[in-house]
Amino acid sequence: MQEQARSFAKAKSTDARVRLLQSWAFGSAISIAALLAGSQLFADAHETVTISHGYTNFGDLKYGPDAVLDYVNPDAPKGGEFSQWAQGTFDSFNLSTRKGVPAALSTIGYEAILTSTADDPYGAYCYLCETLEYPDSRDWVIFNLRDDVTFWDGTTMTAEDLKFTFELYLEQGITEYRSVYSQFIDSVEVLDDYRIRFNFTESAPRRDVVTWVGGTSAFSKDWFEQTGTRLDESSDAPFMATGPYRLDEVDIGRQIIYRYDPNWWGADLPINQGRNNFQTIRVEYFADSGAAFEGFKSGVYAFRSENSSLQWATGYDFPAREQGWVKVEELPDGAIGTGQGFVFNLNQEKFQDPRVREAITLMVNFEWMNESLFYGLYERPESFWDNSELKAVGAPSADEIAILQPLVDEGLLDAAILTDEATIPPASTTTERPLDRRQLRAASALLDEAGWIAGEDGMRRKDGVLLEVTFLERSPQFDRIINPIVENLKRLGIAAALERVDTAQYIERRRAGTFDIVNASLGQGYEPGQQLAQFFGSAAAEDSSRNPMRLKLPAVDRLIDEIVAAQSLEELTVRTRALDRVLRAERFWIPQWQKGVHTVAYYDMYRFKEIPPLALSPLDNWWYDAEAAEALRAAGAFQ
């Protein structure tokens, strides 16, 4: 289940990431130089300048400038509707502010200068540009833009629009982004209507800079100025953009329909062949996953990425499945794990002692959960880079020790990091019951050492203060998982509770840091870089939606700098393993569960050629079989 936290929201965000490197959110993905054969010039300082259709740090780009993606059907028919569900409610279409609750697929119509694919983890390709130019020093990059890109209102996109958008994010973007990235840009120059140059400061991480600015979305400067819209305020509609889908209908809090733009400028690009195949995309909102599942069974919507192991194991025997109307499949998932887990709010004094965090972690019996609640469908995450070579395994290698030793010498890390095996979640030998008495004894000893002593009433106090722990949650789906943990913690002498709130309260309290423990997905990408500072860096800890645990460790900051400075895949790999090792040793994260497949159910009218290794991407490369849909409709499959 990656139960509710790894919900279809993950699939939605993955689809958006695969479709394009939008704005700052995807500055992490991919970087530096694949050459377009023979295309080299010389800069004023006698540096070699590369002109290319794309950019990669490592190896060669998978695709040429006019290639069709391997995992699409270029002859896929266009038309039909794709429908899915979302939980809770919404009141805004702006993901770039902390005001309001953003709608599902809010960025579906946004396009960026560069785009990525679902089968090339290191490549970034010109999309709104035809070529890019950069010197060996990567002190700057020029994007030579297409002259046929238009906004939804028919006006032409120019370099001025991209400069405006980029600077808008630096001025009005969320604090965690501005605090990290504002120091890396020296200036933005509009060279002419279709050429834009970004100049970088000396401190800018050279491996990240091109894809960072290449992730700039295309918003209409005129529209923003005419409407007075701000990036730091909620918005009742998406911003004026260039993409294949635009908002068609909205019933606030209940339903959203996006419609394919028949005048979309990019329909004939080779990279878009076989993509964006649906005429409309409908999102139905439900208060909770149970109601949403009932809606799926009755045909209210047609695609479901199933994230409940209980539903997957026991729920798919309803009439529509028995009639053959619904297909239930496990599809391959080759991506890095989501890093899903509970995280402690390290600003809470009680959680600043690692012994307390370890003791609470011992009370989570995954083995019992997996057998009794999850039907054996899951594995437990161990790393923020599971399913990749970046994961730390066993004791540190000599290369890792060389990176970690200076931090130990300076007193920033305990010397045990040099010899201990990488931290993995404690494994219980008890699957018959939620409480493992062996782990209860170990946890009790840790709390005793930390000064949290059980009184006559069995409850633990330190300096007269009761040890209280509350899990903040918004989904009823988590009740059956968290309640046994709460009972285990009570047996340990902790005043534990589950507090379930609505979506708006959950988002606000998570942002404000008014919680003890919440869910978080901390999984990372194949090419970690400066974005790590938003997840784990001290500078953004007090105001970061990506660092809910409020982690502030100088050793982690130093390791992030080392990763950012890595110039080869080998350097990147060993430095990331060192960081992974240190993060896991801090025990701010209680790993939950994950699986190596996509568990999906859909009405038998959707088709795909193959599932690419890095994303499920139903909105990107699936299509609608009109004949099959009509047969389902005639048989009474839909309401």
pLDDT of 425 reads 96
pLDDT of 45 reads 52
pLDDT of 11 reads 37
d(CA 483, CA 367): 16
Rg (CA), the chain: 25
pLDDT less than 70: residues of the chain: 1-46, 544
pLDDT of 571 reads 97
Which parts of 137-220 fold into alpha helices (H)?
A: 159-172, 175-181, 209-214
**246 closest CA partner among 152, 161, 153, 154:** 152
User: What residue has token string 């834009």?
Assistant: 196
**617 closest CA partner among 355, 372, 351, 275:** 275
Three-state secondary structure call for residue 13: helix
**Structural domains of the chain, ranges and CATH numbers in brackets:** 16-66+110-227 (3.40.190.10), 340-591 (3.10.105.10)
**353 closest CA partner among 459, 493, 421, 451:** 451
Cβ burial, residue 216 (10 Å; 0-12/13-18/19+)? buried
233 DSSP 8-state letter: S
Residue type for position 400: E
pLDDT of 547 reads 92
What stretch of H or E contains 82?
A: strand 81-87
pLDDT digits (tens, 9 = 90+) for 332-346: 999 999 999 999 999
pTM score of the predicted model? 0.85
Which parts of 205-280 fold into alpha helices (H)?
A: 209-214, 221-227
d(CA 204, CA 541): 20
DSSP character string of 558-590: HHHHHHHT--SHHHHHHHHHHHHHHHHHTT-EE
pLDDT digits (tens, 9 = 90+) for 495-513: 999 999 998 899 889 988 9
d(CA 262, CA 510): 40
**335 closest CA partner among 4, 74, 13, 3:** 13
pLDDT of 27 reads 33
- Spell out the SS3 assignment of 315-326: CCCCHHHHCCCE
> b/e string for 251-281 if b means 16 or more Cβ within 10 A?
eeeeebbbbbbeebbbeeeebbbbbbbbebb
Q: Which residues pair with 521 in a beta bridge?
A: 340
